[in-house]
Amino acid sequence: MKKHSLYVVTKGKKTGIFKCWDGDIGARQYVDGFSGSEYRGKLYNLEDAIEWYRDKVGEAPDIHFELEFISIPEHDEGDVYTTYVLIDPRNKKPFYVG
């Protein structure tokens, strides 16, 4: 499966985590023309994107795409697994990270 980048904007017209760079839901529009903008792309999982944002800003980011959490019940070993399913708001299709 192709890896998709997440884009994190810490200084811009709008801050947070975006799933694309261009387009009407992309991060570029919030940093272009903003003096002193700060952003990063090429983060391939949501945990890394959140951690990078928190390191820079000191608080949790806004996530600018639909996110569903699915928890699988505990197994006999006691392990709990969490899967993130990212939904593209334009076409409502799943967008998987990581």
What residues are paired with 63 via a beta bridge?
Answer: 17
Give pTM, 2 decimals.
0.69
Residue-wise over 14-42: b if at least 16 C-beta within 10 A, else e?
Answer: ebbbbbbeeeeeebbbbbeeeeebebbee
- Taking only the tens place, the pLDDT of each residue in 2-48 is 567 899 999 999 999 999 999 999 999 999 999 999 999 989 888 89
Give the pLDDT score at 74: 53
Give the pLDDT score at 5: 87
Give the pLDDT score at 78: 59
- Taking only the tens place, the pLDDT of each residue in 53-94 is 999 999 999 999 877 654 545 555 656 556 666 777 777 676
